[in-house]
Structure 1
Amino acid sequence: MDSIRSTAKLHIHTESDNLIMFGSAYESPGCVLRGVLRFTLTQPLKVKSIGVRFTGKSLLTWSEVVGNGQEQLCHEEEHTVVDHHFDCLARQSKLHTLSMGDHCYDFEFVLQGNLPETTHVTNFYQVEYKLKALVERPAFIPNQSVRQVVHVSRQLYSPHSPEFMEPVYLVKRYQDDLESIISIPTKIYAYGDLIALSIVISALHPHLQMDSLTCNLKEYIILSNATTTTTAENARAHGRHLFSTKVKRFSTTTTTNNDHLTAWAKQFDVVLPSTRTEMHCDMDNDRVRVRHKFKFILDFHDSRSGQVMQMRMAVPINICALPLTGSQQLQLPAYEPPTHNLPSSNDENRCQRNNNNIGHLPSRNLGLPTYLESLHPAPDHLPSYEEHPPPLVY
């Protein structure tokens, strides 16, 4: 007789728990989530059914200012964006009797390209995707389940676009007092990348003195209200600092002309967050827009007149979903699937498969096969950061 608390072990193995869709929501062909559900038994067991379900939900929280700076929750909407179910063992008139050992069931879900990306903006907007496997037991015996979070991201930019691969230089002058040059190796980066940033500040007259330099890397998020269509009036802005520092000491040099004027130099090694909970990649969909920008504040004064001055600068960068190689080319997923997340060949030989419902896993990658990108290339024209975002319509 089956025990009330079974010692059976239930595991979900996916080829990848980070799915990447290429192109915008209007042009992406989508992606495929594949995996194996393993049910390990130490003794024979009777079950009603075994199934795997993939769901995605979005939650929008909207509040308004009611006075004295206080905000009141006025709208909260939960929406199911995807709900797929796969029967490993379907219900029937009689119970299924499973023998001792490993029972493996392949599953596959085809995801449409217009799905929103996984997003976490505290107290504003969340999109989450989950896999849930359920073993339904006979009456009065607890069911057994296991869950796994799946991250869905989107690669908006073409990996071969030269505008992202070339070095970035920003030159700005403050009247006839000061000139600064900011440089970074490229415009596009990925999670965990190191950004080698340098800034050179040149005095344009001998009485200028530097006080401090503030460098911030910020993530900007613009959210739309589901009940409105006008971005300017109803959008909500949210941001967070990914990197912040303030320096008052600089390496100085003296130019050989212009009356021996002074120049200051500073270098920063900015390490981007490596987890998706700490930073979003760039997004642009009907509900949320995410961009990233370096912001600099230079404080300086004229030692002769005592006048205090300040100059501000901004350098936008792009954060993509895929990692970059040393040559700054996007490394697309390999065609052959990784094996460290899936059962080994010896384990698969021991698995008893239900061939009436499912087949063997095809040998290709889960993220998005490289040939799909050639069929649906990313657009050549990409809007600059300074362009106003289009109206967000849900």
Structure 2
Amino acid sequence: MVHAMPLVQGAEFKILLTNNHVVLHGSADESAGVMLRGSVVLDCHETTKVRSVNLKFTGKVRVNWAEGIGTHQRQFRDEHTILEHEWSFLPPTRKHYQLAEGHYQWDFELPLPGDLPESVQHNLGQVFYRLKAVAERPTFSINYTDKKEIKITRSLLPSSLELTQSMVISNEWANKLRYDISVPSRVLNIGSVVPISFDLKPIAPDLKVRSVTSGLKEYITVSSGQRKRTEGRVIKFLRDDQFQVDSHGHWSKVQLLTIPEEESHQIKTNVLSDLIKIRHKLKFTVSLMNADGHISELRAAVPIIIAAITPDDDINALPAYEDAWKSMPYDPATIAAMVASGSLPPSLAVAVPNEAAFRARTTAMGDTESGVEEETSPWEGIDLSRVPSYTTATRSGRLYSFSGSSLPAYDTIAVPGRNGEAAVCT
């Protein structure tokens, strides 16, 4: 990380980001993208002259590898620009800008497409995203610069089928063995512990299991033109030769395979781009000893997805717009004030059976003695602590609606906390 540092001319120049770790939600075909926001800040401690202030965002994918030995060695290189954008906060001029002592800030935002490849750092190739700000100074003066690396990862949507797919290999092999090998999910997360279950049933007489091994292997494929290079490496390897035989004659075992943490740099997440592809497989080997002493091996493999985070761990994932109020910290005065101001419809307030809702309803609907007829709530006389059946719920319809002109702005859902602190929606 590059840190802004005080400059000899009495100024500090830096890029500030709301978040330098961007999470894309869903696959490349599903993701709607995300907005990158930040500011370029120049703090002048004295009158400062600049010719221009610019910012550039660059996203690139780059590959580089060698094939052959000695004089026959050939180098392959390729580079593509994924995305590029420039901002000119103070356009270049023949004359310089004279900035008085003070704080200068230029805000920016950039929509990042949902099909961007994730960030990768590998000896065969890289996918990187970078911001560079430059305040150009007059001749013979040192320019002010600052850089920020943007990390892009991807999180599957909670509705993705891959999250609910368990991996099971079940078959009979060569009239010797019936086997079931199972993994609870196709998607494995960085730093997680994965249980791999083996259930082996011998068919041939006097068959013995010598050992069972499990391995996590990573494959990276880089390409340049028509040339491709693929390398594979074993990330994790487990071997077990201790089995328990149950009353039905099964050998059973559960191996616990730990996915390395991201900080260890031992593993990369799955990536799919034009020049770099990273994929993973779980590989299994069951070594058997036959009655005649001959050794046989059963081999199997399943493709998996290594993800950086799960949807549940993604703190940047926003709730659906109509559900955003549900995650708001409960505060009776705030609810009443939002309904009174029109930010939330009265139907929402009365849908919440509590004292604040009653006060909000009274405020919004007025006093019945002043000539306003009091509405009859559809749930009056019903025990609200009981959950209705599905059939009853579908007949009754929704108790509130966000349709019409009463939609609150999304940012109004974040409300001030107590003691001057911001309340965070959880």
Q: Compute the TM-score of the two structures, normalised by the length of structure 1.
A: 0.69
Contact in 1 for aligned 2:190/2:260 (Cα 8 Å): yes
Contact in 1 for aligned 2:62/2:275 (Cα 8 Å): no
Alignment of 1:313 with 2:297, yes or no, is no
Deviation at 1:158, TM superposition (A): 5.0
Match of 1:224 in 2: 223
Match of 2:317 in 1: 333
Alignment of 1:132 with 2:120, yes or no, is no
Task: State the structure with bigger RCO (CA 8 A, min sep 6), 1 or 2.
Answer: 1
Match of 1:9 in 2: 12
Q: Compute the TM-score of the two structures, normalised by the length of structure 2.
A: 0.64
Match of 2:143 in 1: 143
**TM-superposition CA deviations, 1:138-172 (whole Å, max 9, x none):** 221211212111123455x5531345314332223
Contact in 2 for aligned 1:206/1:262 (Cα 8 Å): no
**TM-superposition CA deviations, 1:340-388 (whole Å, max 9, x none):** xxxxxxxxxxxxxxxxxxxxxx969xxxxxxxxxxxxxxxxxxxxxxxx
- Aligned-pair identity in percent equals 27
Contact in 1 for aligned 2:117/2:272 (Cα 8 Å): no
Contact in 1 for aligned 2:63/2:79 (Cα 8 Å): yes
**Match of 2:145, as an amino acid?**
S
Q: Residues 136-175 of structure 1 correspond to what in structure 2 (within 5 A)?
A: 136-154=136-154, 159-162=158-161, 164-175=163-174
Match of 1:212 in 2: 211
Separation in 1 of the partners of 2:160 and 2:60?
Answer: 33
Match of 1:46 in 2: 49
Deviation at 1:311, TM superposition (A): 1.0
Match of 1:279 in 2: 267
Match of 1:201 in 2: 200
Give the structure with the larger helix fraction. 2
- In structure 2, relative to structure 1, the CA distance for the partners of 1:272 and 1:315 (3 Å cut) is farther
Contact in 1 for aligned 2:12/2:43 (Cα 8 Å): yes
Alignment of 1:253 with 2:249, yes or no, is no
Separation in 2 of the partners of 1:169 and 1:296?
Answer: 12
Deviation at 1:27, TM superposition (A): 7.2
Separation in 2 of the partners of 1:9 and 1:334?
Answer: 35
- In structure 2, relative to structure 1, the CA distance for the partners of 1:79 and 1:288 (3 Å cut) is closer
Alignment of 1:235 with 2:228, yes or no, is yes
Match of 1:57 in 2: 60
Give the structure with the larger strand fraction. 1
**Match of 1:333, as an amino acid?**
A
Separation in 2 of the partners of 1:276 and 1:78?
Answer: 27
Separation in 2 of the partners of 1:148 and 1:268?
Answer: 38
- In structure 2, relative to structure 1, the CA distance for the partners of 1:4 and 1:216 (3 Å cut) is closer
**Match of 1:243, as an amino acid?**
K
Match of 1:176 in 2: 175
RMSD (Å), alpha carbons: 3.4
Separation in 1 of the partners of 2:315 and 2:167?
Answer: 22
- Counterpart secondary structure, 1:235: strand
Alignment of 1:294 with 2:287, yes or no, is no
**TM-superposition CA deviations, 1:67-94 (whole Å, max 9, x none):** 9xx9722432333333321123333344
Separation in 1 of the partners of 2:210 and 2:121?
Answer: 38
- Counterpart secondary structure, 2:311: coil
**Match of 1:82, as an amino acid?**
L
Separation in 2 of the partners of 1:95 and 1:314?
Answer: 65
Separation in 2 of the partners of 1:278 and 1:133?
Answer: 32
Unpaired runs of 5+ residues, structure 1, are 229-233, 337-361, 365-394
Separation in 1 of the partners of 2:16 and 2:218?
Answer: 33
**TM-superposition CA deviations, 1:6-41 (whole Å, max 9, x none):** 343333222222334456667765443211223334
